[in-house]
Amino acid sequence: MNKVIKVKHVVKGWEKKYGYLGVTLTERDLFRPLMNTHFTLNFLGDDLPNRTYSQRYKRIYVGKKIKELQVGDVLTCYTDERGNLYVKRNRL
């Protein structure tokens, strides 16, 4: 069984504008097992299949679904045992 890693992510303006989820240095441990694989991204409750992590640009394409968020929103990102990535919005 893989170790579950949870990280907090703050939405930035360029992510919302272009539809990507950027990966910071502190978040790379979570995304390292996803390199060179296709995985399902569960983003705010919707499954987005066949996603990849771009090692070159250090980002994952989410698409228009990220437009629902505001700049500065805090997200929790984590993976399950099968290697799928989950992103949920933190409620205040």
Q: What is the CATH number of the domain that holds 73?
A: 2.40.330.10
Low-confidence ranges of the chain (pLDDT < 50): 1
Q: Does residue 1 fall inside a structural domain? A: no
pLDDT at 3: 65
pLDDT at 2: 56
pTM of the model: 0.84
Domain that holds residue 18: 6-89
pLDDT at 1: 43
Residue 42 contacts residue 86 (beta carbons within 8 Å)? yes
Residue 30 contacts residue 83 (beta carbons within 8 Å)? no
Copy the structure tokens of residue 74: 């805090």
What are the φ/ψ torsions at residue 40 (nearest 5 degrees)? Answer: -95, 130
**What total number of domains does the chain contain?**
1
